[in-house]
Amino acid sequence: MNQDYIKANVWSILEEDFDKERIQSSESLFSLGNGAMGQRANFEEDYTGDTFQGSYIAGVYYPDKTRVGWWKNGYPEYFAKVLNAPNWIGIHVKINGEVFDLNTCSSIQNFKRELNMKEGYYQRSFTATLPNAVQLEVISTRFLSLKFDEVGAIKYQIKILNKDADVQLTPYIDSGITNKDSNWDDKFWNTTNILEKANSAFIELHTMKTNFKVCTYMNTKVNVGDKEITHTNTLKEETKIGFEYNASVKKGEQIQLVKFGGYTVDRNHPEDKLVDAAENAINQATAMGFDALLEAQKLAWGLIWEMADIAIEGDVKAQQGIRFNIFQLNQTYLGTDSRLNIGPKGFTGEKYGGSTYWDTEAYCLPFYMATKNQTVAWNLLKYRYNHLEKAIENAEKLGFKNGAALYPMVTMNGEECHNEWEITFEEIHRNGAIAFAIFNYYRFTGDYSYIPEMGLEVLIGIARFWHQRANWSEKKKKYVILGVTGPNEYENNVNNNWYTNYLAKWCIDYTIEQLDKVKEGYEDDYQRIMGVTKLIDEEVLQWKKVADSMFFPYSKEHEIYLQQSGFLDKELVTVENLEKSNRPINQKWSWDRILRSPYIKQADVLQGFYFFEDHFTTKELEKHFDFYEPFTVHESSLSPCIHSIQAAKLDRMDQAYQFYLRTSRLDLDDYNKEVEEGLHITSMAGTWLSIVEGFGGMRILNDKLNFHPRIPEGWNSYSFKINFRNRIIKVTVTKEGSFYEMSGDEEMTIRVNDKRLVLKSGEAIKA
């Protein structure tokens, strides 16, 4: 990808060229979201070129019937799809009777897109000449309100540059939309009612099968110069309604449309009050008006940035990268609703389906813990507790019993919705990440209450799963875990994936510890939990036998843990020695070739070293990094961040910086050549980790914040804030040293480079 496609800028994503080949990539990159809804940066006006239309409503999905080549027992019947939602942004534009369409314009100049991340809006402007020689200037400004999360707003301004012209604007809403990735071309939506009231229009509809009820709406206002005009006709189709505004516009004069639109859903309102709720949203929006609502947007984003920003001095691209990541994460999930989660593509595309992967626990939780208040992380954990029953059912489908829980690989509502056997049935390490998140939450927040209230039940289900999933190898005189796929999905159905085995053992040990702690400190909860889970001592003893005798593949020769049994039988040619034409292997090679190769998609053994850092020495980390990284192709978006953190820990700052760029600009520079499908939202949390835990070296040890700050060569400084146990610590790292500033009343002790540092409120202390 042309590196100049996206212009470097510290606060904005900028594109300054109109290129039909890049429309779909830009639609992803300039996506908007406000946690409750989101949309790709599709044009408001008609566009006949290649485009990928996408609007999405949080938590509204469709269970598409599973499609496989060959059915296998245990496959989920349905695949929960991120659902393309009704289009509320559309505006048909005609000039002198000719449809305005950038794909047919004879010339386009000064085309510019800006995603203003600081203030939370998207603007597109250009001048264009239509086939009928009318030349016009367009400025379109759009945002999804944080203040009223059911409201989106568009200001669409046209100036006719070269003559007087008749302009027809028809803003519309349209529920006749489909999913690009539909398996069977099912109809996903059923429209039940279309109505208009003055300048507002409403479509009521519901999803098939899941029966989510939605009202999509719009309110429109058109001015020619200073004069407001009214619509003269209503366009009504089976799934669409629009208002036709006609005006004669003088040369140099501007016609402006303000359109508010969005959705109300029965998750938040009684299902027979969705139109009323939409009217209420319109009233709130029109009472403020576009400009005031945009001001409120800036304020709301200001508050987010106040806590979440990472400022980098001396490296514009690095700065742009991290802000893009933080911005998109906040567009996707704000943590206010425990029924929602963080989809890997957020509101920017359909791919992957489902909203929740182990990404949430492994990558996203630390970001939200540190940049939001504790409730957000609690909500993320509660989400899994709410799904525990479904996880037990899921395990039962695969032959497990007695309350063993296997959380799904991909889910919307707790049910599994992925259908490759090597992933769904075998990528079971996801279960461990959920237990790890419980540990991590307590480590970071110091709030133990989740464990007796909810977490211990989750842990018991998970421990039971691992106990049943392992089997005794008479040959090895150890417990083994056969037939798994580790985090490195370029290996399938392997035996004794070290990461999985290690996590399994840890899960059991950790669960047993928590059983003791809850028994001692939370007697009522303990009794309740024992009642629900019917756990007896004998079963725990059996778990312990598995944990105590778990097998870990190890190479004495290399002094490393092996990614899996038999890894050393591979032809160990490093990535460096692989001809470039083979890359990316997931696009160039057949699956069998990938599987028998030594190439690693993302951190696997090193992911374990990341989670359980303090179980290993730095020397051990170095040995494992040196062995595995050379075979790693980083073809998962989740790979470079972990490697950046590990490289930083090993003081290899050049390498750490390269990995950082790759993670932070993965989508902006389209490393994996797939940005048109949507953004890699969950890996963006990994980018944050690579600065805070990687360069900043932040760790929580014995209830204390620790830092080992490092700085990439080209940077002058960087700074970030951490919300640690209700106190905000601002960390600034410069070439000269690092500085720590705390808000809050009491003193606080942290450790920097293993030395104690006592922080006092409002003072920046140099370490």
The footprint of its own copies (CB under 8 A) covers: 66-70, 72-74, 79, 397-399, 419-421, 425-426, 471-476, 480, 482-483, 492-496, 565-566, 568-572, 586-593, 595-596
The CB-of-605 to its own copies minimum distance in angstroms stands at: 17
Indicate the residue among 401 and 766 with the shorter CB distance to its own copies: 401
Contact 184, 65 (CB under 8 A): yes
Minimum distance, C-beta of residue 579 to its own copies, in the bound complex (Å): 12
DSSP symbols for 80-143? EEE-PPPB---EEEEETTEEP-TTT-SEEEEEEEEEETTTTEEEEEEEEE-TT--EEEEEEEEE
Q: List the end-to-end C-alpha distance of the chain, in Å, as a whole number.
A: 42
- Of 396, 422, 428, 395, the C-alpha closest to 409 is 428
Whole-number minimum distance, CB 210 to its own copies, in Å? 21
Query: Min. distance of Cβ 94 from its own copies in angstroms?
Result: 38
Q: Residue written as tokens 């932040």?
A: 698
CA 440 to mean position of chain CA atoms: 19
**Nearest distance, CB of residue 493 and its own copies, angstroms:** 5
Tell me how far, at minimum, the Cβ of 610 lies from its own copies, in Å: 26
Nearest to 101 by CA among 45, 142, 174, 147: 45
- The nearer residue to its own copies, 73 or 617, going by C-beta atoms, is 73
CA distance 139 to 159: 9
Give whole-number Cα distances, 167 to 135, 336, 595, 695, in Å: 12, 43, 59, 55
Q: Give the active site residue among 44, 489, 676, 741.
A: 489
Kindly state the tokens that stand for 519: 């028994």
Question: For residues 445, 446, 452 and 454, what is the CA-based torsion angle, rounded to 10 degrees?
Answer: 10
Strands 748-752 and 704-707: parallel
Q: Which is nearer to its own copies, 176 or 483 (CB)?
A: 483
Closest separation in Å from C-beta 80 to its own copies: 14
Neighbour-count burial for 269-290, b at 16+ CB within 10 Å, e otherwise: beeeebbebbbebbebbbebeb
- Secondary structure of residue 712 in the 3-state scheme: coil
User: Whole-number minimum distance, CB 81 to its own copies, in Å?
Assistant: 13
In terms of CB distance, is 127 or 586 closer to its own copies?
586
> Which CB, 365 or 504, lies closer to its own copies?
504
Active site residue 489: yes
Can you tell me the distance from the alpha carbon of 728 to that of 63, in angstroms, rounded to the nearest whole number? 42
Which bin fits 27, alpha (ψ -120 to 50), beta or left (φ > 0)?
alpha
State which residue, 314 or 630, has the beta carbon closest to its own copies. Answer: 630
Residue 342 φ/ψ region, left for φ over 0, alpha for ψ in the -120 to 50 degree band, beta for the rest: beta
**Structure-token pair, residue 678:** 């949507």
Distance, CA of 233 to CA of 244 (rounded, Å)? 5
Nearer to its own copies, 552 or 591 (CB): 591
Residue closer to its own copies by CB (options 259, 418) is: 418
Token pair recorded at residue 603: 């951190």
From 256, 281, 51, select the one nearest 157 (Cα to Cα).
256
**Residues noted as catalytic:** 489
